[in-house]
Amino acid sequence: MKRTEALEYHSRGRPGKIAVVPTKPLTNQRDLALAYSPGVAEPCLEIQKQPEDAYKYTARGNLVAVVSNGTAVLGLGNIGALAAKPVMEGKANLFKQFADLDVFDLEVGSESPDDVIRFCQLLEPTVGGINLEDIRAPDCFYIEEALRKSMKIPVFHDDQHGTAIISGAALLNALEVAGKDIAQVKVVFCGAGAAAISTAAHYVRLGVKLEHLVMVDREGVIWKGRPGHMDPYKARFANDTPARTLAEALVGADVFVGLSQAGALTGAMVKEMAPRPVIFALANPVPEILPEEVRAVRDDAIVATGRSDYPNQVNNVLGFPFIFRGALDARATEVNEEMKMAATRALAQLAKEDVPDSVSSLYGLRSVTFGPEYLIPFPFDPRVLLWVAPAVAWAAVASGVARNFIDLDAYHDQLESRLGRARGIMRGIINRAMRDPRRVVFPEGTDPRVMRAAAIVAEEGIGLPILLGNREEIERVAAGSSIPLRDIAIEDPRTSRKREPYVAHLWERRQRKGLSHGEAAQRLLNTNYFGSLMVANGDADALVSGVTQHYPETIRPALEVIGAQQPAGLVSGMYLLVTEKHVIFCGDTTVTIDPTADQLAQIAIAAARLVRTFGIEPHIAMLSFSNFGSVPHPEAAKVAEAVRIVREKDPTLEIDGEMQADVAVDEATLRAGYPFSVLKAAANVLIFPNLSAGNIAYKLLKTLGGATAIGPILVGMKRPVHVLEQGADVQAIVNMTAVAVMDAQERHQPAGPPARDSAARSPRQTPIL
């Protein structure tokens, strides 16, 4: 990740990453009187009489304070409270995105542990829990202990306990896979900071014997009698061992846990470990040893890291959002050891459950099963909330620290309704693209937005970008905008060796459409034609364009060169709209102006195919101004006929209509008024009767409804071609590129340069917007 990109991400639009959003209307004088004086006095008086009513009348029960003094920030060290603020805002974002918890990030301008303690104690009436973050050791131990003793709300230092809880789940499962008894294994820790000490203590509670655990710090093995000062937290793990170095400690060891620095573990050390060793190399961003370095010397090792590009990512986001969710919902007075243990065991058990296709597809995997490369759930698995939060809440009840009894069945439904399935959808698409990146050509290669997006695509491993345009101009613009061009191919249509074969290809394809050989040569100066020919000839796997041009100017070359998939011969444009609670696919929004019933049916079938590639089961509503024949009109009859055609062509699809939009998306309305409908859930695929309706609807949802729009996703092209909205920003280009890569993967195209392939011929598409 480049410095300029990180700074631009944090500064664009409203600075920072979080905002306060009101939950009650304030649109008139009555609302004002209720929200503030005089109406606000009533809940104040109720809380004065019964303090627990603060959870009924205020946001306290969903509010966490993330508190730091900036003395141990990530890998940056002691950078101070103010400089730590971006990290704390990021933590707040994760709380909200993964567990729907609101956060105040509070940076304390003091390095005195007692100041931090007093500050947190004074916060108790304001928040439901406190997450301590990035506070140096041993201060963090002292602060947390003092707060747990003096406060009646959950206090949790994630740097200590997060790694312990998540890696503890991985340990239980790794030992099960390796066939080893936790009471017999020898564990070596490399690193003796807050995370290592807490993790070691958690492992002992899980069953590792203290005498079988060796800890190594900067000075070597922590052994009984080692000279020099040793704080009491480290002293607990002083072992009676002759080993003095990490290499000596690892001889015959079953488990390595690295919480130190890159390169601390070598292949030679791994060779000396016991059979079927477990290696947790958790230093970030570069682990103590890379998985491929382990495999070079041991093919029986089980490896986990803190990175997302390797299996078994030990990521704290699997813990803290859901632990606080359960603790606050149970109104726990603390996060005790029983609750931490419950979180560990819930994560370990979830990894053994069948992984739904909707989860595995988010990561671009066909199937995922418990084993050496799947020890713990994925961070974007929505089931984690439904397993960990109830386990933590129930542990709070069972251990006597809860003030609110939890009905697990009702609580499960409550959690489901909090997040829906919308969160993480784009991250899932990007993860899937990263599994098998493909070559994506960008015809607008001289545009700085496209260049910056291509740089992100290359750096993140989402795809293999190819920029079209004059090399000198591209390099000049890139230098002026500080955009790196590393791992980005550049192809100049004017000088390319592919030019003459492409001219011949285009002329052959269009010569009976009135195109001369000279005109074909002239058209190749249009980069959209050149890019389309690259895709048609197998020199690129997908095309993404449209930032600087109107939609017809972008799609027409692709239709002429590549054409529609046969036998349907119909292209349509879908938008994926992501709201706070819903994921909705809308079509056709960009291509066919006035589709016939047969064309509507084709659009619906193609949409269902697309939706399934996202790991989502389609529930299709064919929209109209009429509900199931309520308004006799040819337009409504056309939609009803389309439903009949779809059912005839694919009886397995869940589709109904014609119906109005509110009936389609509101399951309660559908069930109450039309119990005969075959839809088993609210519709997540909306097929509009014509282009006007579809285009207007998605733009209203995006502009007034606050939906995030991903698209248009072209469906029905013979090869992957995707057209951006004119003026699309960098992130929209990156998102569409990930969709294009996923499209290429779905078509099972080879990842490397394929043999030259003559594109099949197809007729020109119907009218376009």
Catalytic residues: 36, 91
- Compute the distance between CA of residue 570 and CA of residue 598 in angstroms, rounded to an integer: 11
Q: Roughly how many angstroms between the first and final C-alpha of the chain, as a whole number?
A: 38
- Which two structure tokens, joined as six digits, stand for 100? 């729907």
Q: Collapsing DSSP states into helix, strand and coil, what is residue 767?
A: coil
**Adjacent-strand bridge partners of 686:** 586, 621
For 499-530, letters b (16+ CB in 10 Å) and e give beebbebbbebbeeeebeeeebbebbebbbbb
- Which two structure tokens, joined as six digits, stand for 418? 């909090």
- Compute the distance between CA of residue 245 and CA of residue 218 in angstroms, rounded to an integer: 10
Sheet holding 464-468, edge to edge: 489-491, 464-468, 439-442, 542-545, 721-723
| Angle between helices 337-350 and 383-398 in degrees, nearest 10 | 150
**Adjacent-strand bridge partners of 490:** 467
3-state secondary structure 614-649: CCCCCCEEEECCCCCCCCCCHHHHHHHHHHHHHHHH
Query: What phi, psi does 3 have (nearest 5°)?
Result: -55, -45
Within 8 A by CB and 6+ apart from 455, the residues are 2, 5, 483, 484, 485, 486, 488
**Adjacent-strand bridge partners of 190:** 216, 258
Please confirm whether the linkage preceding 746 is cis (ω < 30° from 0): no
Inter-residue long-range contacts of 177-182, CB under 8 Å, 24+ positions, other chains counted:
177/302, 177/370, 177/371, 177/372, 177/375, 178/254, 178/276, 178/278, 178/302, 179/276, 180/254, 180/276, 182/206, 182/207, 182/208
- Compute the distance between CA of residue 444 and CA of residue 264 in angstroms, rounded to an integer: 45
Q: Say how many residues make up the chain.
A: 769
In sign, the C-alpha dihedral spanning 141, 143, 148, 153 is negative
Query: What phi, psi does 375 have (nearest 5°)?
Result: -100, -30
- Compute the distance between CA of residue 132 and CA of residue 116 in angstroms, rounded to an integer: 10
- Compute the distance between CA of residue 373 and CA of residue 363 in angstroms, rounded to an integer: 14
Count of Cβ atoms closer than 10 Å to residue 46 Cβ: 14
Q: Collapsing DSSP states into helix, strand and coil, what is residue 686?
A: strand
